[in-house]
Amino acid sequence: MDIYRVDQATVQCGESKKIRQKIDFLDVLRNKEAPERGRTPHIVPKKPSGLSESTVQPKREHALVSLGEVTRQNPNVSSLLIKHPAYKKDCWNILYSLDNRDKPYTRIRPGTEIFLNPKTREIVWGKMLEDPQASRAVAKSEQVHPGKEKKNPVSTKSFSERLVGAVKPYFGKPYGEINCYELLVKGLTNMGVRYQGAGGLGRKLMAMAKEKGLPMNAYFNGEGLIAASGSPVYAKTLLQIRSPETQAAQVLKEIEPYLEKGQILSFSIHSKGHTGIVSRAKSVWTLINSGEMDNSVRSNALPKGVGEESLEAEIMNWFELAKSRGESLRITLGRLNEQKLVSFYDQPPLEPKKV
């Protein structure tokens, strides 16, 4: 008996052709990480790294655990955490904690060994090992202080805040002019990110697809942008939707602690995909996107176009759609990393342009 699935990275806004990948049925049965049949865990490595906990720095009150070295195969701290037998399930909780979220991960050189304090869950490396307070000092130095500008082309507002602001001028535009993915591209372009042409972000997405033997537009979606210029916060595939209301409520409960304005949220079923930007209207989490505005938080929204909808209601819609079509549902939440986008900047303005 064969089971087939669709590579979710190939799904774009609107309908798309099914691209199937054969899976050995025994591999599905052997997936012990899945909490229950029909689900896959958030992010599960295919192969265990084989790393074992080793203690170092005996002078510290709590001996550190080695996560391994940053290499070409493991280019970032998240890849080390995901492969660690003891901490893989808490990977994103650890990385986005207050002690770790602002650290200069993009400056880590290959060959650097990364350590974790098993009590505080703080990640340290290099000079941070010499001074227990050094990591916090470095993190603070990375933050932008009010009234001061960084030397690189960014404003004093956070990247996420500026991304939300960059797409708001398009509110009310019809879907025929801007679809959900184009809205993300226009927002990034409005912030000064070069997308078109040689050396643009679009070319990078095409190169990623070519390397994997996929269609050139396979990564022209929210998941592609996260993979190329950001990092995932939450990802889950539900192979079968039995109770849309119950399962949607569970997913919302799981992602709510990690929600921040400016994150990218994508939905994918076999035949359709959608993406938008997480925002907030008063006390309600919302999704800025382009599509059917059946859950709009604004009274003057177009029936179909760019607008802002209730995030909870939008999640429910996709669970109901997946059930009605008998398809699996993939949900991906991630944030774009400004440092990964710096090479694409074309002297951006400090505030979004008007359109």
Q: Which residues, in sequence order, are bridge partners of residue 314?
A: none
Q: Within a 13 Å sphere around the CA of 102, how many CA atoms are in the beta-carbon half?
A: 13
Burial class from Cβ neighbours inside 10 Å (0-12, 13-18, 19+) for residue 220 reads buried
* One-letter amino acid of 110: P
Give the list of residues 6+ apart from residue 204 with CB closer than 8 angstroms, or none.
228, 229
Q: Is the pLDDT of residue 8 over 70?
A: no
Among the residues of the chain, which ranges form H helices?
25-29, 77-83, 91-95, 134-142, 159-167, 180-190, 201-211, 222-229, 244-255, 311-325, 338-341
Q: Which residues of 234-263 are buried (b: 16+ CB within 10 A; e: fewer)?
A: bbbbbbebeebeebbeebeeebeeebbbbb
Distance in angstroms between the alpha carbons of the first and the last residue of the chain: 54
When pLDDT is cut at 50, 70 and 90, the band that residue 39 belongs to is: very low
Q: CA-to-CA distance for 21 and 291, rounded, in angstroms? A: 29
User: pLDDT tens digits for 46-92?
Assistant: 444 444 443 344 444 458 899 999 888 888 888 898 889 889 888 88
pLDDT at 346: 62
Strands 64-69, 20-23: pairing is unpaired
- The answer to whether 229 and 201 are in contact (CB under 8 A) is yes
Q: Which of 190, 161, 160 is nearest to 173 (CA)?
A: 190
When pLDDT is cut at 50, 70 and 90, the band that residue 259 belongs to is: very high
Q: Which residues, in sequence order, are bridge partners of residue 239?
A: none
Residue found under tokens 């003891």: 86
User: pLDDT tens digits for 120-173?
Assistant: 999 999 888 875 544 443 333 333 333 433 344 434 467 888 899 999 999 999
pLDDT at 141: 33
Mean pLDDT value across residues 101-119: 86
Q: CA-to-CA distance for 224 and 208, rounded, in angstroms? A: 9
When pLDDT is cut at 50, 70 and 90, the band that residue 45 belongs to is: very low
When pLDDT is cut at 50, 70 and 90, the band that residue 93 belongs to is: confident
User: pLDDT tens digits for 166-192?
Assistant: 999 999 999 999 999 999 999 999 888
Q: Within a 13 Å sphere around the CA of 66, how many CA atoms are in the beta-carbon half?
A: 14
- The answer to whether 298 and 284 are in contact (CB under 8 A) is no
Which position has the higher pLDDT, 342 or 149?
A: 342
Mean pLDDT value across residues 288-299: 91
The alpha carbons of the chain give a radius of gyration, in whole angstroms, of: 21
pTM greater than 0.85 (yes/no): no
Total residues belonging to the chain: 355
Q: CA-to-CA distance for 154 and 144, rounded, in angstroms? A: 10
pLDDT at 131: 55
Give the list of residues 6+ apart from residue 344 with CB closer than 8 angstroms, or none.
193, 194, 195, 199, 200, 201, 229
Give the list of residues 6+ apart from residue 121 with CB closer than 8 angstroms, or none.
90, 93, 94, 97, 99, 100
Q: Which of 154, 191, 148, 202 is nearest to 169 (CA)?
A: 191
Q: Which residues, in sequence order, are bridge partners of residue 107?
A: none
Query: Quick one: CA torsion of 304, 332, 223, 174, rounded to 10 degrees?
Result: 10
Residue 20 in tokens: 């199937």
- What 3-state class would DSSP assign to 111? coil
